[in-house]
Amino acid sequence: MDIRALALSLRLALIVSFALLALGLPLAYWLAFTRKKWKFLVEALVALPLVLPPTVLGFYLLVALGPRSPFGRWWLEMTGHTLAFTFEGLVIGSILYSFPFAVQPFAASFAAIDRKLLAASATLGASRFRTFIRIVLPLSLPGVITGFALAFAHTLGEFGVVLMIGGNIPGTTKTISIAIFDDVQAMDYAAANHAALLLLIISFVTLSIVYGLNRRSHFSTLGAGQ
């Protein structure tokens, strides 16, 4: 089994999930509380990776990251190399690809918070930011953890986008899911099996932790009323 590929996958998944916390929480807050009429357009945009084939997303990313796009050119000028077929490019692609998996649980848990609590916080003098930190975030913690873990597990298991924009460079862009594909192509079924089983276990454990946490927090609010 390819340990380097596994380590790369875990590193990618961790970076992407933290990046999605930083980017996804503000966007989810906006989605949950805005009264803008065009909010649905943003919602549709966020959900796109759920339905698009990874090849479509990967293709456009490849174009956008390449030296012919303004962004790609800017990156080339700043760093001296293009984003395509690099780990950084993979991070950007994975953030976009896992966006709905983080943002949707965040936004759903924000939206579920009793608005009167936010109004009460405001009349007690708390700024929006303080209300977010002291009220919104603690009360939607299960949703935030769920989004984080889903983004992690989803990035760990992604294949198509990585193949399109990452190529297959060992140590840089060759993730565990690509390694499994390679093993199968090379008819090394034992290696494929080990890696596949490990990925299966990691994903299952991650999801179990998420659902276990959600069950506990659900239980504690329900049990409290009695």
Partner 1 sequence: MNRNVERAPQTLYASIRRASNDVFRLEVELTLSPGITILFGPSGAGKTTLLDCLAGLARPDSGRIVAAGTTLFDDEQRIAFPPQRRNCGYLFQTLALFPHMTARHNIEYGLAHLSKAERRSKSDVILRSFRIAELEDRRPPHISGGERQRVALARALVTDPRFLLLDEPLTALDAATKSRIVDDLREWNRSHGIPILYVTHDRSEAFALGERVVVLEAGRIIAEGTPQEVLDAPRRETVAQLAGFENVFDAAVTALHEHDGTMTCRLLPPQTVRSKAALEKFFVESGIGGEGRLPQSQAPTPQVTLEVPLTPAEVGEKLQVGIRAGDILISLERPTGLSARNLVAAEITTLRREGSTAIVDAVSVEDRDIPVKVHLTPRAVESLQLKIGDAIWLVLKTHSCHIMKA
Site for partner 1 in 137-196 (CB under 8 A): 138-139
- Whole-number Å distance between alpha carbons of 136 and 115: 10
Shortest distance, CB of residue 213 to partner 1, whole angstroms? 15
Backbone angles phi, psi at 2, to 5 degrees: -85, 95
Is 120 a residue that touches partner 1 (CB under 8 A)?
yes
- H/E segment holding residue 195: helix 189-224
Select from 127, 170, 186, 216 the one that contacts partner 1 (CB under 8 A): 127
| Helices 3-33 and 189-224, axial angle in degrees (round to 10) | 30
What is the token pair recorded at 76? 């080339």
Q: Among residues 7, 44, 63, 117, which is the contact residue for partner 1, using CB under 8 A?
A: 117
Nearest Cα neighbor of 5 from 188, 186, 196, 187 is 196
Report if residue 70 touches partner 1, rule: CB under 8 A: no
Residue from 22, 51, 78, 124 in contact with partner 1 (CB under 8 A)? 124
Q: Is 207 in the site for partner 1 (CB under 8 A)?
A: no
81 versus 134: smaller Cβ distance to partner 1: 134
Of 26-34, 52-60, 130-138, 164-172: span binding partner 1 (CB under 8 A):
130-138
Smallest distance, partner 1 to C-beta of residue 212, A:
20
Query: Where does residue 68 rank: exposed (0-12), middle (13-18), buried (19+ CB within 10 A)?
Result: exposed
What does the alpha-carbon distance between residue 6 and residue 123 come to, in Å, rounded to a whole number? Answer: 50
For residue 157, the SS3 value is coil
Q: Least CB distance from residue 129 to partner 1, whole Å?
A: 11
Residue closer to partner 1 (CB basis): 122 or 205: 122
Q: Please answer whether residues 123 and 198 qualify as being in contact, where contact means their C-beta atoms are separated by less than 8 angstroms.
A: no
Rounded CA separation 3/187 (Å):
18
Q: How far apart are CA 218 and CA 134, in angstroms?
A: 20
Out of 14, 41, 119, 133, name the contact with partner 1 by CB under 8 A: 119
In the complex, least distance from residue 226 CB atom to partner 1, rounded to whole angstroms:
9
> In the complex, what is the shortest distance from the CB of residue 209 to partner 1, in angstroms, rounded to a whole number?
21
Count of chain residues binding partner 1 (CB under 8 A): 20
Q: Please enumerate in sequence order all residues whose Cβ is within 8 A of that of 130, keeping only pairs 6 or more positions apart, or say none.
A: 121
Q: Which stretch binds partner 1 (CB under 8 A): 6-14, 29-37, 76-84, 121-129?
A: 121-129
Q: Which residues bind partner 1 (CB under 8 A)?
A: 114, 116-117, 119-127, 130, 134-135, 138-139, 221, 224-225
